[in-house]
Amino acid sequence: MKNNVLWLLEENAALYPRKKFLFANDGVLTFAEFRENSRNLASFILEHNDGNMPVAVFMEKGAMALTAFFGALYGRSPYCLLNPALPKTRLKNISDSLKNKIVITSMDLYEEAVSIFDDCNVIKIEEHIAEPYGNSLEQVDESINRIIDTDPLYINFTSGSTGIPKGIVVSHRSVLDFIRYFTDIFDITEKDVIANQAPFDFDVSVKDIYSCMYTGASLVIVPKELFSKPVELIDFLCEHDITVMTWAVSALCLISTFHGLDYKIPEKVQKILFSGEAMPYKHLNEWRSHLPDVLYANLYGPTEITCNCTYYILEKDKDYADGLPIGKSFPNEDVFLLDENDKKITASGSKGEICVRGSALALGYYSLDKNIKDSFTLNPLNPYYNELIYRTGDLAFYNENFDLVFAGRKDFQIKYMGHRIELEEIERAISHISGVERACCVFDEKRSKLRAFYVGYADEKSIIDTIKIDLPVFMIPSSVKKIETMPLNKNGKIDRNALMELEDIKR
């Protein structure tokens, strides 16, 4: 029985020892080579780290970083990527929260790592993957049998409402449970080549990594610099015969905004799975018109429930001008809606908070102050025993087919001029206007103003005139500003805080 992810690598290394598993700027590795490098690194970790204590990985995304992940796992420790692009103070705060003893880094980042993590044992990965450390390799063999399914696999840090980063702890069981259904539903096999777009500290990458581990598919890590070069990005997808793209919406929109598919079509692509934000209708049509036979799926779910909890496979000839559903729950996940009184919503059309229960739930937050209220709570629908659910903070309703339809964040539902307003409704109205590529609406609480931003060639006055036709006066933004590009956060989502800062600068 596969009760931890190391079994997946062991099996692939036995079945496909010479098959190229990983393609990246910093290396190309077979399954067997990857296994050997990871085990060699683990022999050092076992000698220098307490079991189940996190190992921090301060590296750029690539073959070496992924080797560090599995080296930590063979060393019976969860991994946590510390992205070098983050501010030093934030990196230090995360490390202080982890209380990690070891930081794995690369030679080019070693001096920087030592200066930031001065109280940790900072090691260069290049010095520990060529051969095992001491006599510890026998202990590495024991790791597979000693790890249980509820042991932590990785820790991903997200922004906390208190300003303190929150580390979400995800177990082996949660990933194994999710990925077997994910690969089955989307028919991902050993023949697939998966293009990784997401950062390794963003859980979209978990689907890329562990789909390959579960099926024996190959993983191609797309260099991040290509996401500012649409033509070269398309060439890259074609050259590597990519078949699966599990990408953030913003990454797909980069190609469609600059009409990259008019230049060349990546004809081997069979599945495009997207998540993170609502897929703009114009961009969806751009992809579907150029790649009409591809399977398209809209995925939904926060990090706390291990990647995704719902999915919706698009119907080939259906028009989605009114938006895409987020669909139905993955197997072995119960996704339901609670109203403001914690009563379950079963009728279509009524909005409620999306809640989730099942094995997919994360173990919780790492080193979280007990005085900080989190979203893992007891199920109010179960009075008989303690059962945890996760309250997402997202709103949804059931449509006529009883597919879930995302209806915004609870904290994006604002009270303005005496009315409750969904910011996404304004964004959707603006996005449908000819000459608008993308749109985002924010609420300036200090000045009690609605402000909209857009990318495209439409003029600001025509946008206001057009949305006045369909939207009530209290939903018309006080200002509509054209910008060159939408600012994105590290997860590839629109950075609303950066938009507010941009507005402040203009003042």
Q: 351-406, pLDDT tens digit by residue? A: 999 999 999 999 999 986 654 557 899 999 999 999 999 999 899 999 999 999 99
Specify whether the CB–CB gap between 101 and 56 falls below 8 A: no
Confidence of residue 84 (pLDDT cuts 50, 70, 90): very high
Read off the tokens for 455: 């990318």
Pairing between β-strand 352-358 and β-strand 333-338 as defined by DSSP bridges: antiparallel
Q: How far is CA 377 from CA 167, 310, 380, in A?
A: 17, 20, 9
pLDDT tens readout for residues 127-171: 999 888 877 778 888 888 899 999 999 999 876 544 467 899 999
Q: How far is CA 373 from CA 162, 164, 417, in A?
A: 10, 13, 30
Cα separation, 398 vs 405, in Å, equals: 6
pLDDT, mean over the chain: 91
Question: Please, what's the largest Cα pairwise distance for the chain?
Answer: 75
What is the per-residue pLDDT for 371? 46
Q: Which range in 110-114, 448-452, 474-478 is most confidently predicted, on average pLDDT?
A: 110-114
What is the per-residue pLDDT for 373? 59
Crossing angle for the helix pair 31-48 and 137-146, nearest 10 degrees? 100
What is the per-residue pLDDT for 443? 86
What is the per-residue pLDDT for 503? 62
Confidence of residue 497 (pLDDT cuts 50, 70, 90): confident
Which residue shows structure tokens 């990647």?
Answer: 307
What is the per-residue pLDDT for 417? 64
Confidence of residue 505 (pLDDT cuts 50, 70, 90): very low
Read off the tokens for 290: 């150029």
Q: What percent of the chain has pLDDT over 70?
A: 94
Length of the chain as a residue count = 507
Burial (CB < 10 A; 0-12, 13-18, 19+), residue 410, is middle
Q: In what order do the strands lie in the sheet with 121-124?
A: 121-124, 102-105, 55-58, 79-81, 152-158, 166-171, 364-366
- pLDDT beyond 80 at 189: yes
Cα separation, 176 vs 4, in Å, equals: 7
Short-list 494, 481, 428, CA closest to 450: 481
The amino acid at 66: L
Confidence of residue 507 (pLDDT cuts 50, 70, 90): very low
What is the per-residue pLDDT for 184? 98
Which residue shows structure tokens 């600012």?
Answer: 487
Confidence of residue 413 (pLDDT cuts 50, 70, 90): low
Q: How far is CA 297 from CA 142, 289, 309, 396, in A?
A: 40, 15, 13, 18
| Helical (H) or strand (E) element with 223 | none
Read off the tokens for 251: 């990454």
What is the per-residue pLDDT for 463? 93
Q: What is the mean pLDDT of residues 224-249?
A: 95
- pLDDT beyond 70 at 110: yes
pLDDT tens readout for residues 8-64: 999 999 999 999 999 999 999 999 999 999 999 999 999 999 877 999 999 999 999
Q: In what order do the strands lie in the sheet with 244-248?
A: 27-30, 20-24, 218-221, 193-196, 244-248, 271-275, 295-300, 310-313, 328-329
